[in-house]
Amino acid sequence: MNIFIVGDIHGCYYTFKNLLQKYWDDKNDLLIQVGDLIDRGNFSAQTIKFSRDLEFKHNAVFLKGNHELMAINYFDGKGFEKWYNKYGKSVLWQYQLEELDFENDIKWLRQLPIKWENDSVFISHAGISYSENYLDENNKEGLLWNKSAIKKTNKIQVIGHTPHENKKPIFLPEFNTWNIDTGAYLGKFLSALKLDEKGNFIDFYSVPTSLKDI
């Protein structure tokens, strides 16, 4: 089965649906999303509901991003008032409008994995750093937060987290890594990358951000 990897969505619900409807082969592609489903866009609550439905119906994989962790930590009383002031007020208002259960979704976000890998491919939100504790969710050089150099391994890495200027995924040969964050929440593009199980490139896809989402 091929791997269809989607970048940071950030509440851009209609853009996400459009990308999948146009390009995802749900019979032959495993859907993996690299995290940051929430914040910034207008539809965090709907994005999570849609993603949970996809996980249930298609065995899709959703990874945890740093924005999910900030929301979880705020909910658990572990600080991150900055998340509430910058993003959370809007997110919680979206939940009220849609009459959806934020607490129940927090439980779902909490159990999301921080990585997916096989013998050839390693997918995470921010990439493997040189830190010994890169699996620590709160480590600023860990898989949810890393913005330092990515450690090159024998596997193809696929990451989001750091938007770049291209409207399509870019390959960074010095790190053996694909960056697929094309700034959906900035009004640019949401992108996906398709690889085979060995990590070989098949294609990439991008759709412009829907004006309804931002």
Burial of 192 (0-12, 13-18, 19+ CB in 10 A): buried
pLDDT tens digits along 69-82: 999 999 999 877 89
Look up the pTM and report it: 0.97
Query: What is the residue extent of each domain of the chain?
Result: 2-120+183-213
Whether the predicted pLDDT of 168 surpasses 90: yes
The pLDDT score that the predictor gives to residue 79 is: 78
The torsion angles phi and psi of 16, rounded to 5 degrees, stand at -60, -50
The stretch 137-155 carries a mean pLDDT of 97
pLDDT at 24 over 90: yes
Q: For residues 32-38, give the mean pLDDT.
A: 98
Question: What was the pLDDT predicted at 203?
Answer: 98
Q: Are 115 and 63 in contact (CB under 8 A)?
A: yes
Residue 16 near residue 189 (C-beta atoms within 8 A): no
Look up the CATH number of domain 2-120+183-213.
3.60.21.10
Q: What residues contact 192, with CB distance under 8 A and at least 6 apart?
A: 4, 5, 6, 7, 19, 23, 24, 169, 180, 204, 205, 206
Sheet with 189-195: strands ordered across: 61-62, 29-33, 2-6, 189-195, 201-208
Q: Give pLDDT tens digits for 49-95.
A: 999 999 999 989 999 999 999 999 999 998 778 999 999 999 999 99
